[in-house]
Structure 1
Amino acid sequence: MPRWWDTPAGTYSRTWELHDGPGDAEAWMDTAYEDQTVVTQVAGVHADHAEAGTVVKGRPTSSSTLPSLVVQMFRHAEIHDGADVLDVATGSGYSAALLARRLGDGRVTSVDVDPYLVEAAAVRLDAVGLRPKVLAADATGPLPGEYDCIVSMVSVRPVPASWLAALRSGGRLAAVIANTSLIVTAGKCDDGGAEGRVEWDRAMFMPTRSGRDYPPGIRGLFDTVWDAEGEEVTRGRYPVLDVTYNWDLPAMLEVVCPGIEHHYEEGDDGRRTARMVHADGSWARATALSDDPPTVHQGGPRRLWDVLDEVRHHWLQHGELPLRGAHARITPDGTIHLRRGRWTATIG
């Protein structure tokens, strides 16, 4: 990984600066040996192809996952001697390298939707004497073989049906549900589906994509309702919070009402404002000073802040949300059915 992208020091934004390893050997070594995710591609622009001094804006589209998380996912997949493993999302090739060193080249297949990532990873793996099968393929479509374990370094929703078809009887998969921190592990069943659970653990990965970049999102909808009066104006039950600065709340929201985008800001005077938008035209804005009960404006076909308050109420009432540890049943088409106690949900 000779070049990578990073956000400017002290900022949190979608602006990325290019770093060149050979041009700064000390920073290169520090980055290589830190347990962190290192972004290699942003908005379809790979660091290998960028001019010196380039700054780009957009969402990361590939990275080298932090080493501890790679190993964590391998543990969840219960990879064992003699297993044929599919590594989904080649990225820099790091996860394929670990698998090939541990199991042998012939046991490892790694796929990525981006032909350049596959090409670069194969060359660099070969340079260190590792030659797993590395292929350009859309992991949500047909897969090139059958496997005892499938482990994914991208997130999916639902589980691709092709994974279940390619998983051998008794095989095991480990994946994260897109836009959540939920790790689902499951073993192949005789009916072609799989059964397992949501692990008592958490991870986040970029979602799968089909092109060089992700399609435009719905964040532009914030502009159209930024200060709108709202079809309904009420007083909220709970303080305004930054939903995304959390693991379980956004995961639960994505299960019960997928596709919500969030925006949060806090002024110097302590005034907090949280906004929510959805592609169906639903929106919400909650404003309050510090932890006072907020004034909530909502519009569209659904009341998004009410959905959030229902989730928060369940959390307060039961002391936790029911996601982690939930039983997971995956049907052959990839639909995930979750159950914990009386609570059920479907991720299709």
Structure 2
Amino acid sequence: MDWQAHARTLAAQIVRPESRWFEPLATTPRHTLVPRWWDSVDGQWALQDGARDPGRWLDVVYSDRTLVTRVGPVHADAAAPGTVVDGLPTSSSTLPGLVVQMFQHAVIDDDTSQVLVTTGSGYGTALACQRLGEQRVTSIDIDPNLVATARERMNLLRLRPDMKVCDVTGKLPGAYDRIVSTVSVRPVPASWLALLRPGGRLFTTIAGTGLIVTADKTEDGGAVGRVTPDPAGFMRTRQADDYDNPTREVWEKAQHADGDSVSVSRYPLLYVPDSWAVMSMLALDVPGIDHRVHEDGDQRTVWMLHPDGSWARATSGGFLEGPTVHQGGPRRLWDALERIRNRLNREGQLPVYGARVTIAPDGETTLSRGGWTVTL
């Protein structure tokens, strides 16, 4: 299988040839680490088996895209041919360009001594090993099967980093110069600050948002840094085989019920996840919202659901038509969204990207920019 040409083409799409990440990208066989994956088809997840179509396999795995490898508790490796499942992704192989971007934000270079990364498919771990040497890399995941599978496949690549099964938000082993997490957290775990060496840097994303945070450890045991200008989203941490579904009962009500309040919005209908900045601001103000969307011809409906029983449903028949909004429960979720859109309309931007990040030794995380501040 001539995978090398595909890998080099991918490397050339992501970095310049003189970049020190070029060779790791060009020489790491991603197909070995991702032999099967899930594709989204009509709202469900259909199993894809690379060995059944090697040509497509190479085209897919050596493209700059994220490949979902686990949906709910079902890993693609363990699914029967032809399987279609429902649920939320619980593990993936992050798109290669973002993996390299993460490492660049974390300032992983030839002088970096020890790096802690999260495992997933093992692709990011393999790139770090190729760049730094396996003796400098520790890779962790909460799922024993993911760790065992990634270890077995990296053995085929003759890469043997230190791999451990543990919760990234809990007590962690060792001491590190860099922590790079491909799962999102809220707030930053205090355990990261305890094991990060003085002057060390962490990289992560804030759960529910598109905010990338980099921060350097300070003498008081905390850390300071910035929200980067470029957005990204990762799956949030979990402690079980699957995420819970706290909005199931709210959804049953919100689909068709009349709201306690009904209004017509002044703005065109927005499905919040389509706007990184708006989504991030809203998630900071009201964490935990479940966003859903449905289209039927020209009519589009979006829902906002919260575990506390709050919900909003907005329906519009066209772009220029202000949506009719129903809201119920203890909070008015659409009103919270409108306040953010008012600010965006008034100021031309939202303060989240470029915000200063201050992390206390206990993990309390504060974002601030100008007169705006929020503590997670």
Normalising by structure 1, what TM-score?
Answer: 0.94
CA distance in 1, matches of 2:262, 2:48: 48
Change (3 A) 1:289 1:85: same
- Which of 40, 54, 75 aligns to 2:83? It is 54
Question: Residue in 1 aligned with 2:366?
Answer: 337
2:24 matches 1:7: no
Change (3 A) 1:56 1:233: closer
Question: Residue in 2 aligned with 1:20?
Answer: 49
- Aligned residue runs from structure 1 range 286-325, under 5 A: 286-290=314-318, 291-325=320-354
2:267 matches 1:233: no
Question: Residue in 1 aligned with 2:158?
Answer: 129
Question: Residue in 1 aligned with 2:311?
Answer: 283
Moved more, 310-319 or 17-26: 17-26
Contact 1:87 1:153 in 2 (8 A): no
Contact 2:68 2:91 in 1 (8 A): yes
CA apart distance, 1:46 = 1.2
Tell me which protein shows more helix as a share of its residues. 2
Moved more, 47-56 or 114-123: 47-56
Moved more, 242-251 or 308-317: 242-251
Contact 1:274 1:285 in 2 (8 A): yes
CA distance in 2, matches of 1:31, 1:247: 26
2:138 matches 1:109: yes
Change (3 A) 1:40 1:267: closer
CA apart distance, 1:220 = 4.1
**Which amino acid counterpart does residue 244 of structure 1 have in structure 2?**
P
1:190 counterpart SS class: coil
- The one-character-per-residue Cα deviations of 1:149-169 (angstroms, maximum 9, x if unpaired) are 001111111111111111011
CA apart distance, 1:103 = 1.0
- Which of 150, 161, 165 aligns to 2:190? It is 161
1:205 counterpart SS class: coil
**Which amino acid counterpart does residue 4 of structure 1 have in structure 2?**
W
2:51 counterpart SS class: coil
Question: Residue in 2 aligned with 1:63?
Answer: 92
**Which amino acid counterpart does residue 39 of structure 2 have in structure 1?**
D
Moved more, 68-77 or 100-109: 100-109
- Aligned residue runs from structure 1 range 21-100, under 5 A: 21-100=50-129
CA apart distance, 1:199 = 0.4
Change (3 A) 1:220 1:86: farther
CA apart distance, 1:266 = 3.8
2:52 counterpart SS class: coil
2:278 counterpart SS class: helix
Change (3 A) 1:288 1:36: closer
- Root-mean-square deviation (CA), in Å? 1.5
CA apart distance, 1:218 = 1.1
Tell me which protein shows more strand as a share of its residues. 1
**Which amino acid counterpart does residue 147 of structure 2 have in structure 1?**
V
Work out the percentage of aligned pairs sharing the same amino acid: 54
Question: Residue in 2 aligned with 1:178?
Answer: 207
CA apart distance, 1:83 = 1.8
**Which amino acid counterpart does residue 301 of structure 2 have in structure 1?**
T
Change (3 A) 1:57 1:287: closer
CA distance in 1, matches of 2:214, 2:245: 31
CA distance in 1, matches of 2:160, 2:344: 48
1:106 counterpart SS class: helix
Contact 2:210 2:280 in 1 (8 A): yes
**Which amino acid counterpart does residue 296 of structure 1 have in structure 2?**
V
Any stretches of 5+ residues in structure 2 without a counterpart?
Answer: 1-33
Change (3 A) 1:207 1:85: farther
CA distance in 1, matches of 2:201, 2:210: 19
CA apart distance, 1:215 = 1.6
- Aligned residue runs from structure 1 range 244-283, under 5 A: 244-268=273-297, 270-283=298-311
Contact 1:85 1:151 in 2 (8 A): no
- The one-character-per-residue Cα deviations of 1:103-154 (angstroms, maximum 9, x if unpaired) are 1111100000011111111111121111110111111111110100001111
Contact 2:273 2:279 in 1 (8 A): yes
Contact 1:87 1:96 in 2 (8 A): no
- Which of 310, 320, 326 aligns to 2:355? It is 326
CA distance in 2, matches of 1:227, 1:278: 16
Contact 1:17 1:53 in 2 (8 A): yes
Question: Residue in 2 aligned with 1:139?
Answer: 168
